[in-house]
Amino acid sequence: MLPLKNMFLLTVGMTLLVLYFVWASQLTEVARRFAHQENVFMCHITLEDSRGKQFTGLPKIYFVTPTYPRREQAAELTRLGQTLMHVPDIHWIVADDNRSCNAMVVKLLKKFGIPFTHIASPMPEVYRKASIVPRGVANRRAALNWIRKHAEKGVIYFGDDDNTFDLRLFEEIRDTKKVSMFPVGLIGDYAVSSPVLKEGKVVGFFDSWPSKRKFPVDMAGFAVNVEFLLTHPNATMPYKAGYEEDHFLRSLGLTLEDIEPKADSCTQVFVWHTQTSKREPPTIKIGSQLDTSLKDLLEEITSLGMARVSSSSGVKSYITKDGNTKTL
C-alpha cells in the first residue's frame, strides 16, 4: 500500500507542478500583452470648419500631430494651429501621449476653427523603459487607424508640433499620388535631410545618419496618398526609435521610382525641425492670498501646463514696484 500511496502523492505533486507552470506561463503572457497594449481614447471630433474659408474641393490634407504634456505644449500647438488656419481643406489629427483626454488641448484646438480629431493615445508602458524611447509612434499609429476608418482619399502628412512650416508645403503635397518627398531643414550634422535627384529622379539620400536605412528621411520629409495607404492594410510604424520612417515606407512597398520629388526638385526647404528647448514646469511658491490679476494669470498658466503653484514649496515669488520687492 505504501508504494501505491507514494505513487499517488507523486502524481498529484507532478500535476500541481504542471498546473503551476501553465498558470505562470499564462500570467506572463497576459502581463506581456498588457505591457504592449495600445489604449486609444477618442476625445473629440469636429468636421465643422468655422474659419470662413471657402471650400476649394482640393484633396484634403490629414495633418497628423503627435504631442505630449509639457510646459511648452500649449505654446507649440498655438503656433502650429495659427499656421494651419491659413490652409484650406485640412483635417488636423492631434494625438496626445496621455492616459486621458486633456481638456486644455480640446479647448485650445477649438479656437482655430479647423476641423480636427483629438485622440488620447498613450505609449505602451514597456516602451517607456527603452534606452531610446520611440516617441510619437503610438500617436501616429492611432492616427493611421483613424484615417483608415474615416477617410477614402486625400493626403497624409506627419507634422510635429515643434516644427515650422512654409505654407507652400501644403500646396506642394496635395497632388501626391503615392509618396512625395522633400528636404527638411535643421536636421542632423548636415542641417538638412533630403532626397538627391538626377535628371528628375531620386537616386539617393543626403542624411547625416544613414544607419543602413533604405529610406533615410525625416518624418516631416514625406507625404502619403490616402488611397495608396489603404491598398496596404498592414502598413504601420514600428516601436523602433530612429527607424519609424524607414520601416513605415518599406511597409508601403515603396521603391525609389515611386517617389515624387517636391520643393523645386528637392532644392528648397519648406519645413524645419525647430525643436524647443525642453524644461520642467516650475513650481511657484505663493504663500499669501492674491487679490490681483496675478491670481487669474497663475490659474491660466497652470491649466496650460506651464507651471504649478504651491503654498509651501517652490521658487520664491515677488511683486516689484518702484524697484522694491514684496514676497508673495
Catalytic residue IDs? 245
Strands (E), 121-258: 155-158, 164-165, 179-181, 184-185, 192-198, 201-206, 222-225
DSSP label at residue 275: P
Contacting residues for 205 by C-beta, under 8 A, at least 6 apart: 193, 194, 195, 196, 215, 216, 217
Work out whether the CA dihedral 202, 206, 211, 215 comes out positive or negative. Answer: negative
DSSP label at residue 132: S
Could you give the count of Cα atoms lying within 13 Å of 170 in the half-sphere of its Cβ?
21
CA distance 193 to 183: 6
Residue of 320, 121, 154 lying closest to 237 (CA atoms)? 121
Cite the annotated binding site for Mn(2+) by residue number. 162
Residue with cell 506561463: 25
Residue 288 CA, chain-centre distance (Å), reads: 40
* CB contact at 8 A, 299 and 65: no
